[in-house]
Amino acid sequence: MDKNAINGKFKGKSFLKLLDFSSEDIQDLLDLSAKLKAEKKAGIAHKIHEGKNIALLFEKTSTRTRCAFEVAASDLGMSAVYLDPSGSQMGKKESIEDTAKVLGRMFDGIEYRGYGQNLVETLAKYAGVPVWNGLTNEFHPTQVLADLLTIKEHFGTLAGKKMVYMGDARFNMGNSLMVGCAKMGMNFVACAPEKYFPSKELIDQCQEIAKKTGAKLSFITDPMEATKGADVIYTDVWVSMGEPAEVWQERINDLLPYRVTSDVMENAGPQCIFMHCLPSFHDLNTTIGKDIYDKFGIDCMEVTDEVFNSKQSVVFDEAENRMHTIKAVMAATL
């Protein structure tokens, strides 16, 4: 692996949202991810950033994203320092701008997971080193890279494939998947009650992109109409990190008809795969899952255990691909 991954095209750039990258850029990052994945499987080392240091700043909890950054950093020859949600002064005693300037003096790159997209954008503005968005309320771009890689691996192509996103389509996953599909010429369907559709502003931006890539974006409230012939059915939790517990009742009432069930998968057809960024409430083996069962009497939420564990489910391929794609983003931007 060349030290200047993708000919230095991305060197010094931050990775904050997919809107900042062209379709060709995204394809380049996916190709690099596939290459790094193949090298790792073949036991070929790629310590192209030996001696560099990165900071992992998490204001919300994580399993996949944190581990993906740590393992990928190690594979690239780097050290990673993890700052947990209570482990930094940022926001409480120190501004984002000052934190960015301090971390930028010590680290070669910074991952940030937190609340508003404006925070990660500010961090990038002042850090002087690449900043990578590990999830904000608005976007989760490294997840979508992993998802696109997974779809490409499964079908061999992205353009023309139909993805249906069921659930709260106006938060980080719905937003980012709509952008990703628009950029890659896919057909994206948000399937939810109208109030859960992405904002008009983001839809308009994506429609402009779609005009150039041939993508098609639709917004449909009827689950059976939306999912007919889908290649991918995607869902996410109904209540995201940082949202108050009080919204559970309303979300369950609104989104129960949008749960991914075997009927929905059958309606889509045998070609259809099931995707989820994880973590998922598909059984009662979590404290929140049990708590919701005690309060509302439902034994699963956004997806049934049957679909989650079915042959059509590729959720653990997505989880693995978080590492390969995050590695590609770091390899290319450092």
Residues with Cβ within 8 Å of 96's Cβ and at least 6 positions away in sequence, in order, are: 90, 119, 122, 123, 126
Peptide bond into 130 cis (omega under 30): no
Looking up tokens 């995607």 gives 234
Minimum Å distance from CB 216 to ligand NVA? 24
CA angle 139–29–172, rounded 5-degree value: 10
- Work out what residue 304 binds among ligand NVA, ligand CP, none; the CB cut-off runs from 5 to 8 Å by kind: none
- Annotated active-site residue 154? The verdict is no
Under the criterion CB under 6 A, does residue 302 sit at the interface with ligand NVA? no
**Residues 136 to 165 in contact with ligand CP, rule: CB under 6 A:** 143
Specify the DSSP class assigned to residue 199: P
Of these residues, 75, 143, 181, 231, which one is catalytic? 143
Under the criterion CB under 6 A, does residue 236 sit at the interface with ligand NVA? yes
Under the criterion CB under 6 A, does residue 175 sit at the interface with ligand NVA? no
Of these residues, 113, 259, 282, 324, which one is catalytic? 113
- Annotated active-site residue 140? The verdict is yes
What is the identity of the amino acid at 328? A
Under the criterion CB under 6 A, does residue 135 sit at the interface with ligand CP? yes
30 HSE (CA, 13 A, CB side): 26
Under the criterion CB under 6 A, does residue 318 sit at the interface with ligand NVA? no
- Annotated active-site residue 277? The verdict is yes
Name the segment binding ligand CP (CB under 6 A); options: 63-71, 243-251, 258-266, 305-313.
Answer: 63-71
Minimum Å distance from CB 55 to ligand NVA? 20
What is the identity of the amino acid at 279? P
- Distance, C-alpha 108 to centroid of its chain: 23
**Per-residue x/- marks for ligand CP, 277-306, CB under 6 A?**
xx----------------------------
| 108/236 with CB nearer ligand NVA | 236
- Annotated active-site residue 236? The verdict is yes
User: Which of 7, 22, 63, 218: binder of ligand CP (CB under 6 A)?
Assistant: 63
User: Which of 33, 142, 172, 176: binder of ligand NVA (CB under 6 A)?
Assistant: 172
- Annotated active-site residue 322? The verdict is yes
Specify the DSSP class assigned to residue 89: -
Rounded to an integer, what distance in angstroms lies between the CA atom of residue 301 and that of residue 123? 35
Name the segment binding ligand NVA (CB under 6 A); options: 6-14, 168-176, 227-235, 255-263.
Answer: 168-176
CA-closest candidate to residue 307, choices 277, 276, 285, 330: 276
- Annotated active-site residue 282? The verdict is no
> Cβ distance 194 to 163 under 8 Å?
no
Under the criterion CB under 6 A, does residue 240 sit at the interface with ligand NVA? yes
Measured in Å, how far apart are the chain's first and last C-alpha atoms?
14
Residues with Cβ within 8 Å of 91's Cβ and at least 6 positions away in sequence, in order, are: 59
Q: Report the interface residues with ligand NVA, using CB under 6 A.
A: 135, 171-173, 236-237, 240-241, 277
List residues with catalytic annotation.
113, 140, 143, 236, 277, 322
